[in-house]
Amino acid sequence: MDLTAESHSIPLSDRNSIPLIGLGTYGDPHTTPKGTAYESVKVAIDTGYRHIDGALLYFNEHEVGQAIREKIADGTVKREDIFYCGKLWNTFHPPELVRPALEKTLKTLKLDYVDLYIVEMPTAFKPGDTLYPRDENGKIIYHKTDLCATWEALEACKDAGLAKSLGVSNFNKRQLELILNKPGLKHKPVSNQIECHPYFTQPKLFEYCRQNDIVIVGYSPLGTSRDPSWVNLKCPPLLEDELLVSLAKKYNKTTAQVALRFNVQRGVVVIPKSFNPVHIRENFQIFSFSLSDAEMKAIEKLNKNIRFVELLMWSDHPEYPFHDDF
């Protein structure tokens, strides 16, 4: 696969395609200054990114949409050049809430469709507009999940032209099989967005998805922030790894670029989040070098099977996806 900065999309099973690198846009809404996502998306598009990963839950889709629309208006890109991924949050799993949730994203973005719409988690919360519904003890209120019914509502959204492709996120093998084996399945999931990086390569789920023509989109491809409220601090900082550091020196690249190149070279889409213009540009510079087969195998051996993102606060949910082996 000959990848370039101008041409780095791979096919999806529904005949659409997805760029192998995208910009992640999550930022803590309490601490991220207004306008940060807007400026970052503009920098990314000017740099050459054509894939933007967002979500209603990030509370910044209005900024992301404004940046995309301005880059279309100034002639930098056409709408069809941009690949936008939106996400269905846990409180909108009931079928009657799926389309209104997607329409809210589209209204906020001021776009006619999203390129990919995914179920953000297999874990449903109490339905409604309160995104983190809690009981009197402060515990999240769960809701019985019917993933197949949710999926049928998503299929109707695709048929209506509101989403070009449909996918999932944080699904394990059992949950993927629920959808893939659903009687009357009309549109199969084209992607599964999961944590994926050299310390957590997900070999079993990677192979299962490959066999079923499901593209893996890797979040936290550089590790994550060290926020103890949701990050597993037992996992050492990825970008300080000795092998990655030595390969970075060899190729005159950053360890981040080596980590991203590793995943891209194995067909995993990467969506590094950054609001730093220097890092946004650096992360895109992964098409001027390639890793040898021996180097790829050496990086694969770094796998520690340790997640950075455990989301243990929801681990008692019946559909919590990380209990299973894969």
pLDDT > 70 fraction of the chain, expressed in percent and rounded: 96
**Type of residue numbered 198:** P
Q: What is the pLDDT of residues 234-250, one digit of tens each?
A: 777 899 999 999 999 99
Task: Read off the pTM.
Answer: 0.96
| Cα–Cα distance measured from residue 118 to residue 193, given in angstroms and rounded to the nearest whole number | 8
| Cα–Cα distance measured from residue 220 to residue 13, given in angstroms and rounded to the nearest whole number | 24
Q: Which of 26, 58, 208, 320 is catalytic?
A: 58
| Cα–Cα distance measured from residue 21 to residue 268, given in angstroms and rounded to the nearest whole number | 9
How high does pLDDT run on average in the chain?
Answer: 95
Q: Decide: 115 and 84 in contact? Cβ < 8 Å.
A: yes
Q: What is the pLDDT of residues 184-233, one digit of tens each?
A: 999 999 999 999 999 999 999 999 999 999 999 999 999 866 666 666 67
| Cα–Cα distance measured from residue 115 to residue 50, given in angstroms and rounded to the nearest whole number | 11
Active site residue 58: yes
Helix (H) or strand (E) holding 117: strand 114-119
Instruction: Specify whether the backbone of 214 is left (phi greater than 0), alpha (psi in -120 to 50) or beta.
Output: beta
Alpha carbon 46 to chain centroid distance? 21
